[in-house]
Amino acid sequence: MRRAKISIIGAGNVGATAAHWCAAAELGDIVLVDIPETGAMPKGKALDLAQAAPIVGFDAQLVGTTEYADTAGSDVVVITAGIPRKPGMSRDDLLATNARIVGSVAQRIAQTSPAAVVMVVSNPLDAMVQRTWQVTGFPPRRVLGQAGVLDTARFRAFIAAELGVSVEDVSAMLLGGHGDSMVPLASCASVGGIPLTQLMRPERLAEIVQRTRDGGAEIVSLLRTGSAYYAPAAAVAQMVEAIVRDKKRLIPCAAYCDREYGVGGYYVGVPVVLGAGGVERIIEVELTAAERAAFQKSVDAVKGLAETMARLTG
Ligand code: APR
């Protein structure tokens, strides 16, 4: 069987860590790309990771490069290129710089890997996915964003710690943009099949929902020099696996919603079925009035950012 070809653009913290998780899970051969200004850095990281293979025991070819020609014909391309947040910055503060970087990356990918599924990780996430879709001209289902898997993982980790149970038994879903307005759905969270609302007081649950919304900023303020990368990269690997193994995972990701949820043509976080074709289906869940209002607020924030980006990029 032919191995999948996975290209990861941006060999920084998220990109290199995603390469690590993907290689260790034998998801395919990996090409790690960065800009020429980084010298031979991507080559060094790929070589180092390849030398872990005999110890850990995985078969994957690893290439580090600054040439897009090496990514040609990729099945999946993951975009992590761009700058991360520093303390005091919101994801939206990255808009102008990352729109330029992601736009140029998307243009190269469209030329070299016209059949790829493209997964965006760079922030502000929802706007960066929109940009990638516009620049590549790919069908919307083949362009998606990683955010919901990370955000629900944070939610699940906090719930498990609070209840003293395994994270494996906590299941959760959320909607909306990857920002302060994201909407963790308490009504869709369960622990071992038991609705979370039966296991936790509403006030405590509300605190955990807020900590989830602030989860990225909490890490930024602890790290001081950049933003989270272990969990974001693990989320990338889970989504890459869903695509290359056609697993049809039902997980949240930033997907193009037109009539779905009445969004009207923007990328926003929703539950999807993720498989070989990318976003194969968007699942519309019934929302409470409060959840619907919160989702609308989040969609409005995403639209506002997309409009600012449109002005910045002409
Ligand atoms: N092409 C390829 N790589 C690029 C480009 C480009 N045009 N521009 C910048 N890069 C590279 C940088 O050289 C750097 O190695 O992207 C990498 C980013 O790595 P880090 O600075 O370590 O940032 P990281 O923590 O990985 O975050 C990357 O993901 O989660 C988001 O908000 C985060 O937008 C940020 C992105």
Out of 3.40.309.10, 3.90.110.10, 3.20.20.70, 3.30.300.30, the CATH code matching 148-313 is: 3.90.110.10
User: Measured from the CB, is residue 84 less than 6 Å from ligand 1?
Assistant: yes
User: Measured from the CB, is residue 38 less than 6 Å from ligand 1?
Assistant: yes
Residue ranges per structural domain of the chain: 5-145, 148-313
12 C-alpha vs ligand 1 centroid, how far in Å?
5
Decide if 112 contacts 68 (C-beta within 8 A). Answer: yes
User: Measured from the CB, is residue 81 less than 6 Å from ligand 1?
Assistant: yes
Residue with CA at minimum distance from ligand 1 atom 5: 81
Residue with CA at minimum distance from ligand 1 atom 19: 12
| pLDDT computed for residue 274 by the predictor | 98
From the list 43, 154, 178, 303, the catalytic residue is 178
pLDDT tens, the chain, 314 aa long: 789 999 999 999 999 999 999 999 999 999 999 999 999 999 999 999 999 999 999 999 999 999 999 999 999 999 999 998 888 888 888 999 999 999 999 999 999 999 999 999 999 999 999 999 999 999 999 999 999 999 999 999 999 999 999 999 999 999 998 888 889 898 899 999 999 999 999 999 999 999 999 999 999 999 999 999 999 999 999 999 999 999 999 999 999 999 999 999 999 999 999 999 999 999 999 998 999 999 999 999 999 999 999 988 87
Q: If we measure between CA atoms, which residue out of 166, 169, 170, 120 comes closest to residue 145?
A: 120
| pLDDT computed for residue 86 by the predictor | 83
| pLDDT computed for residue 190 by the predictor | 97
Write down the H helix ranges in 113-196: 125-136, 148-163
User: Measured from the CB, is residue 42 less than 6 Å from ligand 1?
Assistant: no
Residue with CA at minimum distance from ligand 1 atom 4: 81
Whether the ω angle into residue 271 lies within 30 degrees of 0, i.e. cis, is: no
302 C-alpha vs ligand 1 centroid, how far in Å?
22
Query: Tokens at residue 107, please?
Result: 């243009």
| pLDDT computed for residue 313 by the predictor | 87
**Per-position b or e across 95-127, b if 16+ CB within 10 A of its CB:** beebbebbbebbebbbebbeebbbbbbbbbbbb
What is the atom index within ligand 1 of the atom nearest the CA of 14? Answer: 26
Rg of the chain (C-alpha set): 19
CA–CA separation, 36 vs 39, rounded Å? Answer: 5
20 assigned to active site: no
Query: Tokens at residue 269, please?
Result: 């976080």
Residue with CA at minimum distance from ligand 1 atom 2: 34
Q: How many CA atoms lie within 13 A of 254 on its CB side?
A: 35
Q: Under CATH, which number does the domain 5-145 receive?
A: 3.40.50.720
CA–CA separation, 128 vs 266, rounded Å? Answer: 11
The one-letter code for the residue type at 1 is: M
User: Measured from the CB, is residue 226 less than 6 Å from ligand 1?
Assistant: yes
| pLDDT computed for residue 132 by the predictor | 98
Write down the H helix ranges in the chain: 13-24, 41-50, 53-56, 95-112, 125-136, 148-163, 202-213, 215-223, 230-244, 289-313
58 C-alpha vs ligand 1 centroid, how far in Å?
26
